[in-house]
Amino acid sequence: MLILAIETSCDETAVAITEDGRRVLADVVRSQADMHAIYGGVVPEIASRSHVACIGALAEMAVRKAGISKKDIDAVAVTYAPGLIGALLVGVNFAKGLALALGVPLIPVHHIRGHIAANYIAYPELEPPFVAMIVSGGNSLIADVRTYTDIRLMGATRDDAAGECFDKVARVLGLPYPGGKPLDDLAQGGDDAAFPLPRAKIEGHPYDMSFSGLKTAVVNIVHNARQRGEALDLKSLAASFAAAVSDSLVPRVIAAAEELGYDKIAVAGGVAANSRIRRDLVRAAQEAGKTLYLPPLSLCGDNAAMIGCQAYYEYLAGARADMTLNARATLDIHENAWQAAF
């Protein structure tokens, strides 16, 4: 089954052609990061307009790259939630138009479920059940993936997402946006115990996380040093920060797998590119006897290939949208809202 998939939930316009949930024939991603960089974060209005400007051309490009013709497409899939509402609406409306014009089904896909499916592309042998940890610029959560489409939330951040926290700390240190990678680079060779930083715990909710206190702690260290005119060991501050984020994520996902009795852990999202987090995950999974699935960096960020792969399983489970499909800025991972007419 050939699916043309569309992803426009944030600042990447992406179109892919996928086959049967596992094979990627074309994967075209246009990042807008350069446009948002001068503002230090994503500007929703600019994101929406930029999606409008290039989605048509990207869809043509994906079809061409896949070496197929439009009439070979069996279904159109689209990310409809969660994300920036204006950005999502561009993809949803484009997908509706395309599905109608081609006379094929329209498959609605939850963005975070798509991130989990990035692992099916990277690891053809991977099948549920497993525990998934998704850490990106907008989300940080741990989920129980019971089947391809029965996915339950185990815990999530109560405030900032991990990536958002990386980006804000990087901004205070004067690093470019998005700050995760530059901060990761800065941390190399730093002393990760130089700065005692908080690791938040939420009473009674072992899998929930909180990153805003950690962010504030780093910001205060930087501001206090600046006010006193003191030089800071930025390498060690970056390393201490990465260690604190990693300590907030890695033990939780291992504990979740232990509790559920699963021997597989899959990770996804842009922050999964972090070298400290990757190193800690590999070590912790090995010690706990779990198999770790860490997709390559190219599949960690937003892309439409992951949406097309999840769409196949959603389709098999009966997901079909009609022309009343609307976008949703927020939506729990286990819910669907595509049946609700607006």
Establish if 274 lies at the interface with ligand KG4 (CB under 6 A): yes
CA distance 209 to 84: 22
Q: Could you tell me the smallest distance in angstroms from the CB atom of residue 25 to ligand KG4?
A: 22
Read off the amino acid at residue 87: A
Single out the segment in contact with ligand KG4 by CB under 6 A; choices: 94-102, 176-184, 231-239, 323-331: 176-184
- In the chain, the amino acid numbered 132 is A
Interaction between residue 86 and ligand KG4 (CB under 6 A)? no
Residue from 7, 27, 160, 167 touching ligand KG4 (CB under 6 A): that is: 167
Find, among 96, 164, 76, 151, the residue nearest to 331 by Cα.
151
Q: Distance (Å, rounded) from C-alpha 97 to C-alpha 157?
A: 36
Sign of CA dihedral 335, 52, 178, 276: positive
When binding is defined by CB under 6 A, the residue of 8, 301, 304, 308 that contacts ligand KG4 is 301
Interacting span for ligand KG4 (CB under 6 A) from 69-77, 229-237, 270-278, 311-319 = 270-278
Q: Which amino acid is at 133?
A: M
Inter-residue contact 214 to 200 (CB < 8 Å): yes
Q: Which is nearer to ligand KG4, 189 or 289 (CB)?
A: 189
Q: Is the Cβ of residue 180 or residue 308 nearer to ligand KG4 in the bound state? A: 180
Q: Which is nearer to ligand KG4, 108 or 269 (CB)?
A: 269
Q: Which parts of 2-61 interact with ligand KG4 (CB under 6 A)?
A: 10
- The window from 59-67, 116-124, 248-256, 267-275 that contacts ligand KG4 (CB under 6 A) reads 267-275
**CB closer to ligand KG4, 98 vs 110:** 110
Tokens found for residue 275: 């070298």
The span from the CA of 262 to the CA of 255, in Å, is: 10
In this chain, which stretch among 14-22, 68-76, 175-183, 256-264 interacts with ligand KG4, using CB under 6 A?
Answer: 175-183
DSSP per residue, 167-187 = HHHHHHTTPPSS-HHHHHHHH
Q: Which is nearer to ligand KG4, 106 or 112 (CB)?
A: 112
Tell me the number of residues near ligand KG4 by CB under 6 A.
19
Q: Report helix, strand and coil shares of the chain as percent, to nearest 5.
A: 45, 20, 35
Is residue 136 a contact residue for ligand KG4 (CB under 6 A)? yes
Q: Does 295 bind ligand KG4 (CB under 6 A)?
A: no
Give me the least distance between CB of 296 and ligand KG4, in Å please.
13
Distance CA 159, CA 165 (A): 10
Question: How far apart are alpha carbons 332 and 6 in whole angstroms?
Answer: 20
Site map (CB under 6 A) of ligand KG4, residues 178-217, x = contact: xxxx--x---------------------------------
114 binds ligand KG4 (CB under 6 A): no
> For residue 321, what are the CA distances in angstroms to 72, 107, 113, 331, 337?
20, 6, 17, 16, 10
Does position 166 interact with ligand KG4 (CB under 6 A)? The reply is yes
On whether the CB atoms of residues 16 and 304 are closer than 8 A, the answer is yes
CB neighbourhood size of 300 (10 A): 23
Chain residues that interact with ligand KG4, rule: CB under 6 A: 10, 136-138, 163, 166-167, 178-181, 184, 269-271, 273-274, 301-302
